[in-house]
Amino acid sequence: IKDKNGVSQVLLRSPRGASARVSLHGGQILSWKNEWGEELLFTSSKAILKPPAVVRGGIPICFPQFGSRGPLEQHGFARNKMWTIDDNPPPLQSIDTKGKTFIDLRLKPSDDDFKIWPHSFELRLRVVLSAEGFLTLVSRIRNVNSKPFSFSFAYHTYISVSDISEVRVEGLETLDYLDNLCNRERFTEQGDALTFETEVDRIYLSSSDAVAVFDHEKKRTFLIRKNGLPDIVVWNPWEKKSKAITDFGDEEYKVMLCVDASVMERPITLKPGEEWRGRLDLSVMASI
Ligand code: BG6
């Protein structure tokens, strides 16, 4: 399907009616709905839908740099490029696609990309929607160059919540984190669960492979499982920063939370011919 800005999108539908929408601009997930048609990802009402803007919401893919530190633009260039449908992807045995719908996308770097990041790579993304409506993203990055390169990466996941002050994140307790609001100073998480009453922008290091986000008001729990992605960035801009972000509503910080499975502290280095994989599994359950 093409949207009104001429960007192609792919719609995946499960037999029970769950769905996921993926844009070829950035390989970005723009929507993920459960079988009752409820949207599970946040997208700002002020999002700019026309490239070269990156849609504020869904799941932008950040590569080859996540964050502002490094030689590239914030979050790298992959989220702002046109991807293509990959009709003939190399096999990916680790994912059972039986009874699931899926699509393979690919980003081929252009000559301009090479000028700003002089490395030859293949970036592939498989998006899988299960019969239950669970979403799996697998990225594969291969070095097709004759010298090594390093990168960071993230699934910058905007979760839709009903009231941020009632949200609890579990799975980060006792972890060390770098605080982006304190010049990346290192702290250790002391609480049993993370709750929100002010701006948060933290990089939790070497987290376990599962994190849960409890949305108390909606009685809904998001389970974020990951593989190959050691760190978790948790971000909510809160009141003041929301007002400063032009494509974000002043009050929208109340209904979103970014929980980004990522490679942040220690970049991945790939030797010529090597491949890296990063997998994200998102599921939602009703909680009591
Ligand atoms: C988060 C970062 O992941 O993304 C924040 O930790 C940043 O520092 C946020 O502000 C949004 O980034 P952007 O480029 O999409 O506005």
pTM listed for this prediction: 0.97
- Give the atom of ligand 1 at the shortest distance from the alpha carbon of 201: 6
Q: What is the mean pLDDT of the chain?
A: 95
Residues 101-115: pLDDT tens digits?
Answer: 999 999 988 888 889
Residues 211-241: pLDDT tens digits?
Answer: 999 999 999 999 999 999 999 999 999 999 9
Check whether 95 has a pLDDT greater than 90: no
Retrieve residue 44's tokens.
């700002």
Check whether 288 has a pLDDT greater than 70: no
- What is the structure's pLDDT at 101? 95
CATH number listed for the domain at residues 9-286: 2.70.98.10
Band (pLDDT 50/70/90 cuts) for residue 31 is: very high
Does 201 contact ligand 1 (Cβ within 6 A)? yes
Residues 116-133: pLDDT tens digits?
Answer: 999 999 999 999 999 999
Q: Best mutation site among 157, 232, 241, 258 for ligand 1, i.e. most ligand atoms within 8 A of its Cβ? A: 258
